[in-house]
Amino acid sequence: MSSTLILEQALNGLQFGLMLFLLAAGLTLVFGIMDMINLAHGSLYMLGAFLAATFADLTGSFWLAVLLAIAGTALIGMVLELSVLRRLYTRDHLSQVLATFALILIANESVRIVWGPQLPLNTPVALSGPVQLLPGLTYSSYRLVIIAVGLAVAMLLYFVIAKTKAGMLVRAGASNREMATAMGVDIKRLFTLVFGLGAALCAIAGAMLGPLLAVQVGMGESILILAFVVIVIGGIGSVRGAVVGAILVGVVDTIGRAFIPALLREFLPPQLASAGGPALASIMIYILMVAILFWRPQGLFPARG
Amino acid sequence: MRRALTLAALAAAVVFPLVAKPLGWEFYIGFASRTLIYALAASSLNLVLGYGGMLSFGHAAFVGAGAYTVAVFMAEGIASAWVAWPIAIAVAAALAVAIGAVSLRTRGVYFIMITLAFAQMIYYIAVGMRAYGGEEGLNLPTRSQIGFGVDLKDDVTFYYLVLAVLAAALCGLYRLIHARFGRVIEAIRENETRMEAIGFPTYRYKLVCFVIGGALAGAAGALLANQNSYVNPNLLYWTQSGELMIMVILGGVGYHYGGLLGAVALLVLEEVFSAYTIHWQLPVGIILLGIVLFAPQGLVGIAGRRFLVRRLAGG
């Protein structure tokens, strides 16, 4: 097991973790501020990816397509908030689960009707090759760009939430909604904007991951659960928690998949190892989550005191 | 009124195959069996979710555990229902003890997530069982055998068995809920701190409720493996847990027939729309959304409200 391999997998983990963060940030804000379980968050990620693929085909430019997809998805997100989700804030979690599950069905089927089950989305040509990072370590340049975009968005988000007035209102809403309303925050408009922001972040993740994973119906469902794991680990409502949780989940998941099967082969008979390896690797993040919840039931960075 | 309705529904369910068979609707007998099996699974979740107030998002794990136990026994050459089914229930119950013991230490949203996490672990274990089909799943060569000259391979016979199991389970659940245990469970749902202060071991009560739900779901899984003659890991995926939850919410959380009504409504909706269009998920989704927005109590709520309105109007 060479150190370059470990470094490469760690970078893969960081790249995946940063994209997970983009999903988790929106989810944790919606969950933390509005106390709303939104299963349809993954559908916005899917919509972002499909819009990006469509615009890439139309304009011929990947980056223009990403920008258009972000704007389009944010718009769809805000329309969704204004038309449906707004009515669900005061309802119990079960109603929210049912309603947003229904939205998943509607979104999946609408996408299938408009676009079909999947679309091609290619890596921009300039980034399709590998680059030499260290002697002996070449790495996909596209993945490096994803890391850069992820870090930039994370820092921008941190700046907006920690330093601007809008961010202050968001934090106030997350830690105590009633008090924020009593202090005269226009919570309705804030909710719509936060939802649009969450949708935009989904679109970035969907568009950037599109060339690596497949742009297909149902792509949101598997990653949604990972995003939920992230926000539970990080602490619901906490953006800082989402960063730490996402990178933790991304790295543990990637490293686990890369090395656990090989590790098991050292200790177990081959038949058992080949069966147990992938299973154990997939389970790692859930074990991580259960362990963290056992140790800190409110997650790593609880937003509410 | 309520008893008459129940008996009428039961009578209709008993007569159904006798009418369906001569009309050549064999397909719908299988569909009806599957619906009743899901009704059993949803009712078991309703015990945990509706009466116990525990928002378990991992119920498919218990259904899957029951189904896989039957399939694995079958693959190893043991087809007797008398061996495989009780063990399937026991495996699901044991799993529920383990998952419940850890999960019940958390609350609220964290409970939802931790049950989900455990269910996903079981899902990946099923995917990893290469000897038993792995990701592809496992075909069952035959249905379980119960002897006494009864052949479960006959769809009508199997339907009656499922109906009997469901009826027995619903009866049992009714007795359980109206016994002391049920009262305690509901009281814990309403105010756990108070029940604890009075001196009830609330954790133990909740765990027992969770395990009974898991065991019943295991029974549903054993039946489902037989009905489909096929098991695969998708039985345990989180969307399956979601679908069971949807059935309960749709039918009416914490109403005795909530699980049954929800399962019938959802599966019939899916069946009807899939007959007309491959895009059946769209109308089903829109109807579900409409129900959440305009009928907060679920289907039972709608029925109950009509009934109430009629009574108030002197009808």
Please name the member of B49, B55, B110 whose beta carbon is closest to the beta carbon of A293.
Answer: B110
Give the residue from B49, B103, B111, B124 with the most A CB atoms within 10 Å of its CB, the best one to mutate: B124
Check B106 against A293: CB less than 8 A apart: yes
Give the predicted TM-score (pTM) of the model: 0.84
Specify which of A15-24, A214-223, A259-268, B301-310 reaches the highest per-range mean pLDDT.
Answer: A15-24
Q: What is the mean pLDDT of residues B39-66?
A: 91
Query: Domain residue spans in chain B?
Result: 2-237
Provide the pLDDT for residue B1: 65
Q: Nearest residue of B to residue A276 by CA position?
A: B128
Check B106 against A297: CB less than 8 A apart: yes
Residues of A in contact with B291 (CB under 8 A): 98
DSSP-assigned beta bridge partners for residue A130? A140
Check B112 against A93: CB less than 8 A apart: yes
Least confident of A72-86, A132-146, B25-39, B198-212: A132-146
Closest residue by Cα to residue A242 from A205, A217, A279 = A205
Are the CB atoms for B102 and B166 separated by under 8 Å?
A: no
Could you report the per-residue pLDDT of A271-290, keeping only the tens digit for each?
Answer: 677 667 777 888 888 888 88
Residue with tokens 């109950």: B304
d(CA B118, CA B116): 5
Q: DSSP state, B149?
A: T
Residue with tokens 């569909």: B31
Q: Which amino acid is at B81?
A: A
Please name the member of A236, A279, A290 whose beta carbon is closest to the beta carbon of B117.
Answer: A290
Provide the pLDDT for residue B311: 44
Q: Which amino acid is at A294?
A: F
Residues in chain A: 305
DSSP-assigned beta bridge partners for residue A134? A137
Are the CB atoms for B239 and B87 separated by under 8 Å?
A: no
A233's tokens: 């680990």
Reported as a pLDDT band with limits 50, 70 and 90, residue A90 is: confident
d(CA A78, CA A192): 6
Could you report the per-residue pLDDT of A148-192, keeping only the tens digit for each?
Answer: 999 999 889 888 888 888 888 877 877 777 787 787 777 788 888
Please name the member of B55, B116, B293 whose beta carbon is closest to the beta carbon of A225.
Answer: B116
Check B296 against A229: CB less than 8 A apart: no
Question: Please, which residues have CB within 8 angstroms of residue B103's CB and are 6 or more apart in sequence?
Answer: B56, B111, B114, B115, B118
Reported as a pLDDT band with limits 50, 70 and 90, residue A142 is: confident
CB atoms within 10 A of CB A204: 24
Query: Is 50 exceeded by the pLDDT of residue A201?
Result: yes
Give the residue from B270, B279, B292 with the most A CB atoms within 10 Å of its CB, the best one to mutate: B292
How many beta-carbon pairs below 8 A join chains A and B?
Answer: 128
Provide the pLDDT for residue B302: 63
Please name the member of A102, A106, A232 whose beta carbon is closest to the beta carbon of B292.
Answer: A102
Q: Nearest residue of A to residue B108 by CA position?
A: A93
d(CA B135, CA A282): 13
Provide the pLDDT for residue B309: 43
Provide the pLDDT for residue A96: 87
Question: Please, which residues have CB within 8 angstroms of residue B15's CB and are 6 or more apart in sequence?
Answer: none
Query: Is 60 exceeded by the pLDDT of residue B308?
Result: no
Residues of A in contact with B116 (CB under 8 A): 225, 228
B132's tokens: 């038993």
Alpha carbon of A16: minimum distance to chain B alpha carbons (Å): 20
Question: Please, which residues have CB within 8 angstroms of residue A292's CB and are 6 or more apart in sequence?
Answer: A233, A299, A300
Please provide the average confidence, as pLDDT, over all residues in chain B: 84
H or E element at residue B185: helix B180-190
Please name the member of B107, B110, B249 whose beta carbon is closest to the beta carbon of A94.
Answer: B249
Kindly list the distances between the CA atom of residue A255 and the CA atoms of A12, A135, B130, B230, B311, in Å, as whole numbers in the listed order: 9, 22, 22, 34, 64
Are the CB atoms for B297 and B304 separated by under 8 Å?
A: yes
Q: What is the mean pLDDT of residues A105-116?
A: 90
Please state whether beta strands B230-231 and B138-139 pair in parallel, antiparallel, or not at all (unpaired): antiparallel
B246's tokens: 């949807």
Q: Which amino acid is at B306?
A: R
Query: Is 70 exceeded by the pLDDT of residue B315?
Result: no
Could you report the per-residue pLDDT of B138-174, keeping only the tens digit for each?
Answer: 878 777 777 787 777 777 788 888 999 999 999 999 9
Provide the pLDDT for residue B209: 94
Q: Which amino acid is at B103?
A: S
Provide the pLDDT for residue A106: 92
> Hey, is the C-beta of B180 within 8 angstroms of any chain A C-beta?
no
